[in-house]
Structure 1
Amino acid sequence: MNRDKMTTMAMSMTMMMAVVVVLTCVGGGAQAAGFTTAVHPLTSYGYSGASYGSIAKSVTGSATLSATPWSSTTMAVIVLTEESLAHDIVNALVTSPPRALVLVLPSPDAAWAAEVVAAMETELMWAKIECPVMMAFADEIGEEGMKELDELTLSVKTSAKEIKTGDAANVEAWLIGSQGERAKTIVVAAHYDALAAAPSLASGSDANGAGLVALLSVARSFGRLYATEKTRGAYNVVFVATAAGKLGFAGAKAWLADASAMQLRNVELVVCVDALGAPGVNLLSTDVPQSGKKRGPAGSAASDAFEAALAELGAGKIELELDPEARTYAFEHERFARRGLAAYTVSSHSAPYNMLRTKTAAVAGAYDAADRDALVANIHTVTTALVRVVFPHLGLAAAADLARPDAGFVDAWASYLEATPRFAPLLATPTGAPVVAAITKALNSALPAADVTASDFKLVVPYTFTAPTASAELSAYKQTSPIYDLLAFLAAGAYVVGVYAYFVGPSAAVAAVLSYVTSKPSSATKAKTKKSKSKKE
């Protein structure tokens, strides 16, 4: 190798190394991944010609940690805190939407979190937002990810479809008493669906997971009590897990439509169990208009005995009034009371919480966890009262002993429901099939002598929903800067020139580069370009 070649090669390599050093300083780590986490897109729905919620689409953009205002070209990220004001966020979204909004939710362990998320969630469901809105959890992003959020580019992949109608399923089990099929009947009902602004977060174990757990636990107790003909009570007991409770209690309506006139005549008491995951039990009763008159629950020996038993156990009774401005019923028992049946709801709540009905909170599933000790205690209270109704000769202590729930069973089912989204509209699709199968299996196990069936019905509601068809994921990464790209190009160019100079000599290499840069297009190239332009025209 001659001296000129060696000198040129050394200069080129030195130049390339210098550029690489600068690259390391300027863009070092620019290609390092940020993080990937699950996100939960907000649903959109239509009601009476009006649209609510947010649009659903995949989107990529630079992130900015922002309260309001934000840029319409950025992915705004808001970390919810105790001081966050949901209505301020929603007002800004409606007037000037960003490219997309990511709401970073606090840990469910935070004492204040449920109230803040509930307020924000309800506001979002009642607004029309012209950008994708999604939720993520701070503890899943991690401390390092949270620190870097405003330096990253965010990319969200999601897909959705519109859901109008479909088949839903009630699961029922008839436990026949000592007097046969035509005997007086007690109905225990609970809806098993849930609702949240983000469908993938509709997995709460309280509303109404706790009601479903209570129904299954009561069924286990009565399965033992009715195990032989000698131990059965005089009442038939029907357990009904209803679908679409959050959509106007459509499952209860379908069950009433399918029941025969004789079966309904024999019903002396309907007990709907709902959201028992907080301390205390309330007995809720509603005056329901019927045939132009106002009447409360039809009196019966069973209803009187149930009220008396709950009062003895310390439960308070609350008389409710129908809200004429609400879209649908507040509690499930009102569906049954409308048919003239003695119907009640037992619940830790005293007011409705369905945000599709009125502007009331329906907390995302992560914050809707049932208090296990309270749930076990409340199930024990309700079961004891029902045992007193069916076996009136038993004293309170004896009934309570027979009604004691299995805490392990309660915890296992509450945990399952906390991890299982049960968004009401999606239960009318194959998505809901595993939930229905699990309920059917549990009732068959609890009541081996009962006839357990899952009955499909056509779900027709005045809503249309757009819900995700697959899990959504957010990828966060650092975007390569233009300077980084330019320096990378120069480094590659220096290397190519150095190699070329090694083979042809430095003078020839420089001449070739200058010739390429300063040369004019050939006549053939001009003709080709002109021909291409004429074709386009």
Structure 2
Amino acid sequence: MLLLRGSRSSVVSTEARTLHSSSYHRKVVIARLTDLTHGQFNEVVQQGAAGILIFLPQNFTTIAPDKLKALMELEHALQEDAVPIPVYFAYETDELKDMYNSVQRTSDNGRTTSVAQELWSMLKASGFQLVVSGSQAKMISDVQLSSIQGKLSGFGVEEQLPTGVIVAHYDTFGISPALSFGGDSNGSGVAALLELARLLSRLYTNSRTHPHISVCILFLFRFTPLLFFSSSPEGSLLADSLFTMCIDSIGSGDDLYVHVSKPPREGSAAANLFNELQRAATRLAPEMRVSMVHKKINLADESLAWEHERFSMRRLPAFTVSHLPSHRAPSRSSIFDTANSLEKDKLARNVKVLAEALARILYNVTDNESSLQVFRSSLEDYLGAWVDLLSSQPRGAQLMAKGKAPLVSMLEQALSRHLKEVRLSTFQPDKRCLPRSCLLLLCCQCPPLGGRALSCTNSELVKRLSRPPHLAPVCCAPTFKVSEQPGA
């Protein structure tokens, strides 16, 4: 049975009202997210509104931390709802602010105003007709998920060498796919993986420092690891790995957490790597604490908590490194997670700790030699450039499930600079293995309008969605028009 969440409709053609109107029936309600509550949202839906247009702040950095946390919690509450009407989002530009104020004046008497009085106010004032044309959203029939694999081969007979795996997913999630930039989750993970590839490649290209362990680097579309466990070369490579380290959200925070489904066996490569992470943190960042968080896999959940759980289900030694202590952190799937959400100095610190710990495992240096430091150069500039680039474009899963997206090509080229064996793989999920959660998607942009109509070229209005998708649906692009109607 498929559980559908999110909006089930997309077409709109009616007048605009604000939350202060006495009736929402067959009207599009416009509201600022900072003014909206979950109860008000449900009331708008129950009163039979034709749609909702929610304005987002232009600059999230001006929002107080407590208010930002409340907005993230509201965002996640809305993600859980099944909504029968269209819901759109837009950044509040000056033009949209003028429109909102004009509509607000029509309803400035509040809910105490009678219907007759509100009708008279509507006739005297200017109104706005909101129109979204096009076909209704529908599920994608041909989903293609891309992953990138690169390998640093160790010194020796390749087939006989042990392998370590480092993974990061490159897609993001939020209530609106085209507004999901994922600065910390998982822009920081992608940037960290690229930097680790660059640093480790220096060791593997020098005959004097060539380790005897191979390293496999994977950029994955979230929830695709199960596709690797087949007769493919990638499947056999992962099945024989010493450890699988997933990197997710390491661009902020004072501590690092190693999330595991089962604590690693003492003396194993995964356990040694955890110990080396603690030692590296003690040497390079004494104020930082590295601790292990044990959480069993709950197969009853609609989606798994962390990326490593996909590997752990196959009895592989895997863990996720993150600055988040819990998978329930709202910032992991929020449109408020932008480039400003992370601290580049802490990202560089965390990557250096990871690199030093990996180097000690590669060279089998497992004692307390505090004088050993393999990487001494500054990493902040390189990491900052990648984070800025990744955070400048949305990476919503629904927008990238149609094969080789431009971002995927960019990551493939970047990885090829440091690794010789780079392969791009495209997968099509088996329809017999569909998850219980699936989503509907609709992307729409507001084009420039002439005459007295409002120009909304800086705002991108996108259909809101629900939980992180295992299967991405179709993206269509209708026209969104905001036209001003003179009063009688």
TM category (shorter chain) comes to 0.7 to 0.9
Are 1:315 and 2:294 matched, yes or no?
no
Following TM superposition, by how much is the alpha carbon of 1:162 offset from its aligned partner in structure 2, in angstroms?
2.2
Query: Structure 2: how far apart are the matches of 1:104 and 1:412?
Result: 30
Structure 1 match to 2:315? 340
> Which one of the candidate residues 457, 471, 485 is aligned to 1:479?
485
Could you say what secondary structure the match of 1:339 adopts?
A: coil
Instruction: Tell me the CA shift for residue 420 of structure 1.
Output: 1.8
The unaligned stretches of length 5 or more in structure 1 are 1-47, 288-295, 483-537
1:408 aligns with 2:381: yes
Q: Which of 262, 276, 281 pairs up with 2:256? A: 281
1:390 to 352, 362, 365: 362
Preserved contact between residue 97 and residue 130 of structure 1 (Cα < 8 Å): no
The CA RMSD over aligned residues, in Å, is 2.8
Distance in 1 (alpha carbons) for counterparts of 2:33 and 2:369: 48
The answer for the alignment partner of 1:227 in structure 2 is 205
Distance 2:429 2:98 in 1: 46
1:418 corresponding residue in structure 2: 391
CA drift of 1:98 comes to 1.2
Cα distance change on mapping 1:403 and 1:285 into 2, 3 Å? farther
Q: Aligned partners of 2:319, 2:11: CA distance in 1, in Å?
A: 45
Q: Could you list the per-position Cα deviations for residues 65-121 of structure 1 after superposition, in whole angstroms to 9, with x for gaps in the alignment?
A: 21586421322111122x642x21332144223121111122311134532332222
CA distance in 2, matches of 1:186, 1:327: 29
Work out the CA distance in 1 between the residues paired with 2:332 and 2:21.
24
Contact 1:138 1:146 in 2 (8 A): no
Aligned to 1:135: 89
User: Aligned partners of 1:149 and 1:385: how far apart in 2?
Assistant: 59
Post-superposition CA distance 1:339-376 (Å, at most 9, x none): 22221110011222498xxxx97211555733322222
Distance 2:91 2:142 in 1: 32
User: Does the aligned pair in 2 maintain the 1:157–1:472 contact within 8 Å?
Assistant: no
The 8 Å contact of residues 183 and 266 in structure 1, kept in 2 or not, is answered as no
Number of the residue aligned with 1:111 = 64
Q: CA offsets per residue over residues 109-154 of structure 1, 9 Å max, x none? A: 1134532332222222221222111111225656545533435414
Shift of 1:451: 0.2
Contact 1:272 1:345 in 2 (8 A): yes
Local SS of the residue matching 1:454: strand
Give the Å deviation of 1:53. 1.0
Q: Distance in 2 between matches of 1:67 and 1:481?
A: 20
In the TM superposition, residue 331 of structure 1 has moved relative to its aligned partner by 0.7
- Go from structure 1 to structure 2 and tell me whether the alpha carbon gap of 1:457 and 1:476 turns closer, same or farther (over 3 Å shift): closer
1:378 partner letter: N
Residue 173 (structure 1) shift: 0.4
Instruction: Render the CA deviation track for 1:1-38: whole Å, top value 9, x for unaligned.
Output: xxxxxxxxxxxxxxxxxxxxxxxxxxxxxxxxxxxxxx
Q: Residue 455 of structure 1 aligns to which amino acid in structure 2? A: S
Number of matched pairs:
413
Q: What SS does the aligned partner of 1:179 have?
A: coil
Q: 1:328 to 1:75 in 2, by over 3 A?
A: closer
Write out the 4+ residue segments of structure 1 that deviate beyond 6 Å after TM superposition.
Answer: none
CA distance in structure 2 between the aligned counterparts of 1:374 and 1:301, rounded to whole angstroms: 29
Query: Which residue does 1:437 correspond to in 2?
Result: 409
* Counterpart pick for 1:96 among 26, 47, 55: 47
Give the structure with the higher percent helix: 1
Aligned to 2:174: 196
Equivalent position of 1:272 in the other structure: 246
Partner residue of 2:76? 122
- What are the within-5 Å matches in structure 2 for residues 128-167 of structure 1? 128-139=82-93, 141=95, 144-150=98-104, 152-157=127-132, 159=134, 160-167=137-144
Tell me: CA distance 1:338–1:434, structure 2 relative to 1, closer, same or farther (3 Å): same
Deviates more, 1:382-391 or 1:131-140: 131-140
Distance 1:67 1:372, change over 3 A: farther
The one-letter amino acid paired with 2:388 is S
Secondary structure of residue in 2 paired with 1:334: helix
Structure 2 match to 1:236: 214
User: Aligned equivalents of 1:135 and 1:261: distance in 2?
Assistant: 41
Q: 1:105 to 1:374 in 2, by over 3 A?
A: same
Write the distance in 1 (CA, Å) between the matches of 2:361 and 2:217: 16
- Determine the structure 2 residue equivalent to 1:179: 156
Task: Flag the structure with larger Rg.
Answer: 1
- The structure-2 alpha-carbon separation of the partners of 1:256 and 1:212, relative to structure 1 and needing over 3 Å to count, comes to farther
Give, in whole Å, the separation in 2 of the partners of 1:155 and 1:399: 64
Decide whether aligned partners of structure 1 residues 276 and 197 sit closer, same or farther in structure 2, where only a CA change above 3 A counts.
same
Query: Which one of 147, 159, 170 corresponds to residue 170 of structure 1?
Result: 147
